[in-house]
Every structure is written in structure tokens, then in C-alpha cells.
Chain A
């Protein structure tokens, strides 16, 4: 119940901040279009699918992460986080409330990008493939919100979120399977890539579009992402400086 009260407030906040909403919905669509322009410059032998579909996961991952981290740091600087705790909320209520409140936006965002990518690149998938991709994006979005909340506890001001971006956003672009095949990387680099949840999001997307839908690849990755989410829900409250 309290979770839903927090979620409702998060939704209200998102609705009021039109610039923020525009940013989260429109920017991914623009980026996806630029991706199309980029692929048009490449020779046709390069597989579009193998890059474009994981890219959708990547976009949801990094935008959701940054925005949720910023929202939570804002709560901290405004003193509202403390105030919620004073008013009897538990830290877990707040974290899960954020996830629930943010999910609607994450789903809309993911659906739009996916739709645009499918149209732009004239990709045609069966319903079960799209369902697998959708489920993957959904869980990935949950994990990204949680990761943003978790890392926001290490930032006192909005500006302190910025140093996390190269680590959480740029490194996995190279090591987690977006640009390169991780199995061809040196072993240690492959392991670094596996730290990031997007690694499993990308694996899942690749399994989903594999010929005949590789469900043997979809389920384990969905499982890893779920474990990631559960771990973050458990350790998230522990890293809050604010006490209940």
C-alpha cells in the first residue's frame, strides 16, 4: 500500500516535468533514427539485427539508470527522503515504490523504441519473439531503476552522478556485448563485462532473435536479471545513509 503511494507520487512527478518526459520518450527515438542513418553507411553484409536489437536494451538501460539516479539524489538534496522516513516509510517501501512508479514510463519508452526499430529496419518477428524481448526489456528496466537508486547513495549532489556515467554506461558498451562479441575479448575483460546487468539484457535480446527463438538463452538471462534485481532490493536499503 505504502509502495503504491510512493509509486503514485513518482508518476505525478514525472507527469509534471514535461521536459523530463520528453527527454525519456523522444530522445531514444531520435537516437534510434541516427542508428538507422549509421547503418545505412555500412555495407549490406553487416547484420543489422545483431546490433540494432541489443541497442534497444542498451538505450532503456542507460536512460533509466541515469534518470532514476538523478531523481533519488534530488530527494536527498531536497530533504524529502529524510522526511519520508520520518513519516514512517521504510527504505524498502521507497525503493520498491520508485521501481513501480517508474515502470510505466520504462514500458512506454521501451515499446516506442522497439516499435520504431522494427519499422525502420523492416524487421519482422513472430509474437513470441517480441514477447521474449518485451519481457527482457521489462526486467532490465526494473534492474536499471534499482541500479540508479543504489548508486545514487554514493552521490550527495546531482553533479556527483556524472562520474558514474562512464563506468556504468560507456564501459559496458564495449565489454557487455553491444559492440563486440564478449567471447572474443580477453578473459578478464569478458568478466568485467559480465558485472553489468546490460550484459544479460543484451544476451537475452540476442537469444530472442536467434533463428527459431533460442529459449535456452532467454530463460537463464531473464533469471540472472531477476537475481540482480532481488540483490539490489536487498542491499539497496543497507547503503542508505538516512535511517528509518
Chain B
């Protein structure tokens, strides 16, 4: 699915989706188009000319056109750009459902909270892979800030975010009787990505 809507303005939502269904030799393209549109909450918009639909609706029609032949692999270029938060959440719910049905989705995004929802994240810079892994494994490449509260004062240290390093730090400093409280603050994916990109730039 391209970033721009890439639909025929004058055609109805159903005609647009059915056209792409026909290109893939889908049998009974009209009915299939209707069912995909219904899935995307566009049941009352089958016959509306695409140019009369709101931006979010057009985006969903465009997604329907990409989904209509039930592809094994789906490449989505910023699918939620300019969508309201509710719609965005629904779409991601649907992407997750598709992933559960063993479909492959490749999604480009600049939003870290969306990247967090993926099984695997690839961070690209100037066409090169900077980092690659599950969101959790990337976060574990970042740092954790441990803050010990001790009778009125506090002391903090930063360690790498893997469990061995944290355990070691806690063993060395955290087990003192003076420690009355402990804050563990891990970097989020965005922090990790920014520092990875920084490191890459400095090289």
C-alpha cells in the first residue's frame, strides 16, 4: 500500500477495491470487495465516490485495495499517517490479527510506538541497517538507570540493560541495609534508537 491514497477519485469505494481484486483474478470481485470494506468499517460507504470520503476513510479504502486478494506479504508505507488515534489503534489490531494468521507485514513508520507493536524492527539509516531485532532485544541494548534511595540521599548508576549487568549492579550496591528504595528506569526504544544512530554518525 503506497503512502498516498492511490485510488480513483471518481470511482466508488467498491469499484476501486473490485478493480484491484480483478487484477489479481479474484473470483466474484464485487462480493469480496464488499466483505473487505465491511471488515474495515466501511459498510455504509460502498457506493460513495472516493473523493467524497474523509482522509481516514480513503486510507482504509486504499488498505482494502491492498488486502482484497488476501496477500501472503503486505508492504505498507506509513499506513497510519494522518489517521486519528482510534482508527490507528483499530488498524494495528487488524495488522496483529493478520500476523497471527501467518501473514507477513512489512511496515515503514517513523513512529516508535508503532514499531513497538511489531515482532521485529529494522532501523535503517542512509539505506544501511543500523539495528535489527525484536523491540525487546533492541531495548536490552540500551541502558538502565538504577536509583538507590538511602536515608535522605539518593545515588544512581547506569548499567546496560541486560539482566546479568543489572543483577551484578544490584548485588554490588543494592543489597546494602541503608537502601530504602529503588527506582529502575529503562531507556525506551526511542532512546535506544537515537543513541544507536548517534553512535553510527560518530564513526
Contacts and interface: CB of A to CB of B under 8 A. Distances in A.
Interface stretch (A83-91, A129-137, A144-152, A197-205): A83-91
| Residues of A contacting B: mostly | helix
Given A9-B11, A16-B11, A16-B49, A80 B23 contact: no
Interface in A57-91: 78-80, 82-84, 86-89
A38 to B, nearest CB: 35
Contacts of B8: 9, 13, 78, 80
Interface stretch (B14-22, B135-143, B164-172): B14-22
B10 A83 contact: no
Interface in B1-38: 2, 4-12, 15, 19-20, 22-24
A17 interface: yes
Contact of B6 (A2, A16, A17, A83): A83
Contact of A79 (B4, B11, B20, B22): B4
B2 A79 contact: yes
Contacts of B49: 16
A78 B23 contact: no
Contacts of B4: 78-79
Nearest to A80: B6
Contacts of A12: 11, 15
A149 B10 CA distance: 20
A82 B2 contact: yes
Interface string A1-16: 0100100110011001
Interface in A1-43: 2, 5, 8-9, 12-13, 16-17
Contacts of A86: 2
Contacts of B5: 78-79
A87 B23 contact: yes
B6 A87 contact: no
Contact of A13 (B11, B20, B23): B11
B2 A87 contact: no
Nearest to A4: B22
A78 B2 CA distance: 11
A79 B6 contact: yes
A8 B9 CA distance: 16
B150 to A, nearest CB: 61
B73 to A, nearest CB: 12
Contact of A89 (B12, B15, B23): B23
Contacts of A88: 23-24
B43 to A, nearest CB: 21
Nearest to A14: B10
Nearest to A75: B8
A16 B2 contact: no
Interface of B: 2, 4-12, 15, 19-20, 22-24, 49, 65
